[in-house]
Structure 1
Amino acid sequence: MPLTRLTVENYRCFSQRQDLEIRPLTVVLGKNNFGKSALVRAPRVMSTGIRNDSPLPLDLSLLGEEPPDFVDLVHGHLEHGNITVGLEFAADIQPLRLEATVQNIDEWHTQVVSRWLLEAGDGSFSLDWLDSEDHADGDERPYRFAGPGPLNGEQVMVRFEGLLPFISGQLDVELMLFRDIIRLEFDQIRYLGPFRTRPGRTGRLSAKPPGRDGDIGRDAASLLIYDHVRRGGRLITKINEYIDGHLPGWELDVVPKYSAYAVGLRSKTERTLWVNLTDAGTGVAQVLPILVGRALDELDPPKRPILEIVEEPELHLHPSAQAELADLYLVAIERTKVRFLIETHSETFLLRLRRRVAEGRLHPDRLALYFVEKNGKGAVAHRIAVDPLGNVDYWPQGVFAEDFEETRALTLAQLDRQDDNAG
């Protein structure tokens, strides 16, 4: 398990330090606008500082269309503020922990790594920026180094590529190994947001296979069309195994439409009956990218660790389907190297996970639950421990209590009406 923990401080709505342990299945819940999305998206933000050669500590342009400005990441949106990010790895050689504070320099229109710390086993290296106008425009800036060797306490000139430092001389030779490990061990990040693109009425066959790690919410139909024409429909067959029993009497199918193709549902009993996915239920269209992703990973398991961020996978699904979706993710963590960081509002999804723990089908060490709530200083992520019987040591007050409260109110209203009628 490469990435085992991430840390944020002064980030978005989190003014205090937050540590999020990454398990094969990490689930974040909470009320709206409390910071869940900001927390689950943090690995994407951190990835912009690991696998690039940009002089910016975080190259937010890599996040795609309409990326946030750095100040948007700072708690309170302070123009001269900073954020702290941390990554912890279970590397093969020795555990590593990287932590960096990124300072916005408004008058320079850029950001600088103001403090950098690397802990490797029993040793540590740190760099503290020596603020100087003389190096405002240069790639190299002066830092105070602390660590083993004759340069301890000395000033060194450092060039950063993202969050990783480069220092001239022998010291850089020592750091080079750790840089390579961090870049290698940092998971490939996938992201599936809450607004999945609905498939078009038709689509064309692409000249080459659509990218697996792009926007699968947008490319799901293209992947299915390519699979149908070029690969014998094995992807569609696997997806139909997933949906068998949840869409009684129907199966996913791709048909030619003039010079293009269309994705839809075909009746198993009336083979001439076919419905374009555009005209099917919203829930089917919203869950399709999830099913495509799981089928792709099962048919061609990734060779390197993947962390897939999924926001609200349960959108527009019936509660029974939400429970089955939880099982789908459990199968995925057993059969592939993909791990999941999921934001959800679904009580059914969570209850299914707890049930599988109680049944012994999911070890509690493979699951991490967090509840995001607010206190007087901002948002906090509260870890919810799950024991081997599926019991939890903490449950947020007022969350998922709606069913009970509505049933209680209904009963009271019925009793009142009966009393009125009796009178």
Structure 2
Amino acid sequence: MLTHLKLDNFKIWRSTGAMRLAPITLLLGTNSSGKSSLIQSLLLIRQTVKGDDPNLDLNLGNPDEGDSVTLGQFKDLLCRHGGESEAIKANQVGVEFKWSESGQPEEATIFSARYRQGPGGSAELDYLRLGKDGQGFFVARRRPGIYRLQLGAEHRPVGQSPHFRPQRSFAFAASAIASLGTRGELIRDIGPALLDELGKIIYLGPVRRLAQRDYIWAGRMPASIGDDGARAVDALIASGVALQAAHRGRKAPPAEAQLFQQTIHWLKEMGLADGLTIRALGGSARYELLIENQGSKSNLKDVGVGVSQVLPVIVSALFAEPGHIVIIEEPESHLHPLAQSLLAELFAQISRERKVQFIVETHSEHLFRRMQTLVAKQEISTVAEAAMYFVEREHNYARLRELELDAFGRVRNWPEGFFGDALGETREQARLMFERQKGAKS
């Protein structure tokens, strides 16, 4: 689980400060305030670490390669109004996060990196710290291509060499590990541990794939549902076919069938459907997904867009395994208020029962209000289980405000204009009603 995030001079952020990440983290705020940049920083490191080019210190993204984020060149990443501090220079970008299997901060592993302008608009690693306190390693750029290495348990640097430049900002070449002898074994597994943690991220972007009339299914459960949810229906088909086979054989449904059954449950709870049906089209690999409502069945393409947009959200939550990190932008897209509020119930239940972490960027007042209710009902603890942030613009850069909720879910530090001026609207309606009544009497 990710427990901490800190950005310096990253896009619109001069500095986020130390940001606490909880099992459920909500990011709220106005448009273009910097919420998405928080998520992009994690996806940026993920696509760098999972890439196959050892010469890229930071993979800023290529749309033709299917990268999760495309951020241009280093100059586009660097905050235009950035500042210098003890930790970072004005011409550097800093990304830092921590993760812990137990969720306890004292057991956390840290990734802390600083980047500078490199050749051809690229980003060049300037500093990297990776590992737990007293373990891991520190790497600092001394001059172009030369890096100084220090092991976390040692007070003196090992030395400096081109071999000590971490590949893809996280791991050393086999020759570098071998050159360290027995000390190399101390840091061999640290990079792969980061790769494993970032591999647990399931990301679902704000623009999701529209419904299709039928789907070609490969015959297996997909390994992922895709950043746009394109393979969410494939996962449902795999689960639905497994359920149908169990029914035909009069056997108990296998574990694989639970995704289909639980998706139906949440669609019912949200008032979006009474059921789902998977139907094969002839003897081909094509299948259609039918939505059941009030005794009739309709193709997914023929029902409201809200159903096709929320299916990847539900599937991503149910698809996650213990320890996974589900990052979702605008899960409420095209949903009516009740369904939006029940998303909070979905995230809370899956997080609690399966130990799945959710980082959710949303504009939904209904989702947030239900989270407040869950806090009031003591189903969620704001200390251990939830963190809620309001992101706002302050002149030319973003500012982060952690919302303080009391035991009854009430916000102590409510930002001005958080969800509009509901009280002001009520006053205006009452004034107009009074004026009309007065005019009618006269």
- Number of residues of Structure 1 aligned to a counterpart in Structure 2: 405
Distance change in 2, residues 1:191/1:172 (3 Å): same
Greater alpha carbon shift after TM alignment, 23-32 vs 279-288: 279-288
- Report the Cα distance in structure 2 between the residues aligned to 1:247 and 1:124, rounded to whole angstroms: 50
SS in structure 2 at match of 1:48: helix
Whether 2:17 is the aligned partner of 1:9: answer no
SS in structure 2 at match of 1:284: helix
Corresponding position of 1:207: 219
Whether 2:298 is the aligned partner of 1:275: answer yes
Corresponding position of 1:59: 59
Deviation string, structure 1 residues 12-41 (Cα, Å, up to 9, x no partner): 110224332221100000001111111123
- Report the Cα distance in structure 2 between the residues aligned to 1:248 and 1:142, rounded to whole angstroms: 57
SS in structure 1 at match of 2:357: strand
Distance change in 2, residues 1:164/1:236 (3 Å): closer
Indicate conservation of the 8 Å contact 2:171/2:192, yes or no. Answer: no
- Report the Cα distance in structure 1 between the residues aligned to 2:393 and 2:351, rounded to whole angstroms: 31
* Residues 212-361 of structure 1 mapped to structure 2, 5 A cutoff: 212-215=224-227, 217-232=229-244, 234-247=258-271, 250-258=274-282, 259=284, 260-268=286-294, 270=295, 273-297=296-320, 302-303=321-322, 305-361=323-379
Deviation string, structure 1 residues 146-177 (Cα, Å, up to 9, x no partner): 86547439544412112225354255443334
Indicate conservation of the 8 Å contact 1:314/1:346, yes or no. Answer: yes
Distance change in 2, residues 1:59/1:293 (3 Å): same
Please report the TM-score for the alignment, with normalisation by the length of structure 1.
0.85
Across the aligned residues of Structure 1 and Structure 2, the Cα RMSD in angstroms comes to: 2.9
Amino acid at match of 1:117: R
- Report the Cα distance in structure 1 between the residues aligned to 2:434 and 2:421, rounded to whole angstroms: 20
Amino acid at match of 2:408: L
Distance change in 2, residues 1:239/1:128 (3 Å): closer
- Report the Cα distance in structure 2 between the residues aligned to 1:148 and 1:65, rounded to whole angstroms: 36
Indicate conservation of the 8 Å contact 1:91/1:185, yes or no. Answer: no
- Report the Cα distance in structure 2 between the residues aligned to 1:165 and 1:262, rounded to whole angstroms: 44
**For 2:180, which of 144, 169, 178 is the aligned residue?**
169
Percent identity for Structure 1 against Structure 2: 25
Q: CA deviation at 1:340?
A: 0.6
Corresponding position of 1:68: 71
Deviation string, structure 1 residues 216-235 (Cα, Å, up to 9, x no partner): 61112222223333442653
Q: CA deviation at 1:356?
A: 1.0
SS in structure 2 at match of 1:369: strand
Deviation string, structure 1 residues 331-360 (Cα, Å, up to 9, x no partner): 110121321100111111111111111111
- Report the Cα distance in structure 1 between the residues aligned to 2:155 and 2:269, rounded to whole angstroms: 68
Amino acid at match of 2:59: D
- Report the Cα distance in structure 1 between the residues aligned to 2:122 and 2:184, rounded to whole angstroms: 25
- Report the Cα distance in structure 1 between the residues aligned to 2:131 and 2:67, rounded to whole angstroms: 32
Please report the TM-score for the alignment, with normalisation by the length of structure 2.
0.82
Unpaired segments ≥5 residues, structure 1: 136-140
Corresponding position of 2:129: 117
Distance change in 2, residues 1:36/1:255 (3 Å): same
Indicate conservation of the 8 Å contact 1:236/1:253, yes or no. Answer: no
Q: CA deviation at 1:387?
A: 2.7
SS in structure 2 at match of 1:10: strand
Q: CA deviation at 1:326?
A: 0.7
Structure holding more strand per residue? 1
